[in-house]
Amino acid sequence: MPSRHRSFMGTALALLMVAAGASAAQAQQSGAGIPVASAPANVSGDARAPYAWTDLCKRMPAECRVNLNEEERVEMTPKLWKTLVTLNQRINREIEAVTDQEHWGVVDRWDLPEDGKGDCEDYALLKRKRLAETGVPRRAMLITVVIDEENAGHAVLMVRTDRGDFILDNKRNAVLPWSQTGYVYVKRESQLRTGWTSLGGAQTSTVASVR
């Protein structure tokens, strides 16, 4: 490509970015390709913990413990973004989806899927464990209960960051801002104590499932 044409294209691109309210330097500093959630998923009071979570806490207390010395939110860096996306995809492939009735012969059981099988909350627990091993603070990663596109209960992992709250989901490989999943948000683990807080049934825009 002639240098004059390259110069023109570069100038045009710079003008477009200025028109959009961002310079190339700003885009690089903010982390190109990382979405931004419009607002945090705010709590609206205490909520009753799922009974299967209570059973999990008896068997595996560390999965429920809250360390108030940890940060409530983690800085969303390009490295962390890549880790979230890669790990979400890997675990979605790694675990075979089975119901608790098929797996354990009970309606609901929360556990780490050590035998390679599990349902939604088991995916979420394993994702949190693996992310914690990379240094992400446990307090910033919350198991969250939602109503999905089939009007059924579903569990996902919410990661709270300085760029908003993001969802790791076994239904899709894409990591989305919480407000773009199409789910109704019911409750999540508390960041202040061992327990759960209500999300007030916040409803978000509907999106197609992305694998």
Q: What is the pLDDT of residues 127-161, one digit of tens each?
A: 999 999 999 999 999 999 999 999 999 999 999 99
> Would you place residue 203 in the very low, low, confident or very high pLDDT band (cuts 50, 70, 90)?
confident
Residue 16 has pLDDT above 60, yes or no: no
pLDDT score at 112? 96
What is the structure's pLDDT at 157?
Answer: 98
Burial class (CB in 10 A: 0-12, 13-18, 19+), 143: buried
Answer left, alpha or beta for residue 200, where phi above 0 means left and psi between -120 and 50 means alpha: left
Identify which has the larger pLDDT, 143 or 21.
143
Kindly tell me if the per-residue pLDDT of 71 is higher than 70.
Answer: yes
Q: Is it the case that residue 208 has pLDDT exceeding 70?
A: no
Average pLDDT over residues 19-36: 49
pLDDT of residue 31: 55
Return phi, psi of residue 202, to 5°: -60, 125
pLDDT tens-place string over residues 86-104: 999 999 999 999 999 999 9
Return the C-alpha torsion angle 173, 175, 177, 181, nearest 10.
10
Residue 209: which pLDDT band, with cuts at 50, 70 and 90? very low
> Residue 141, class by beta-carbon neighbours within 10 Å (0-12 exposed, 13-18 middle, 19+ buried)?
buried
Residue 102 tokens read as 């098929």
Place 9 in a pLDDT band, splitting at 50, 70 and 90: very low
DSSP 109-139: -----TTSEE-HHHHHHHHHHHHHHTT--GG
Q: For the chain, what is the mean pLDDT?
A: 85
- Predicted local confidence at residue 28, as pLDDT: 37
Query: Is beta strand 96-97 parallel, antiparallel or unpaired with respect to 117-118?
Result: parallel
CA gap 187, 196 in Å, rounded: 7
Beta pairing, strands 46-47 & 141-147: unpaired
| pLDDT over 50 (residue 21) | no
Q: How many CB atoms lie within 10 A of CB 77?
A: 14
Domain spanning 35-203, CATH architecture: Roll (3.10)
Higher pLDDT, 33 or 166: 166
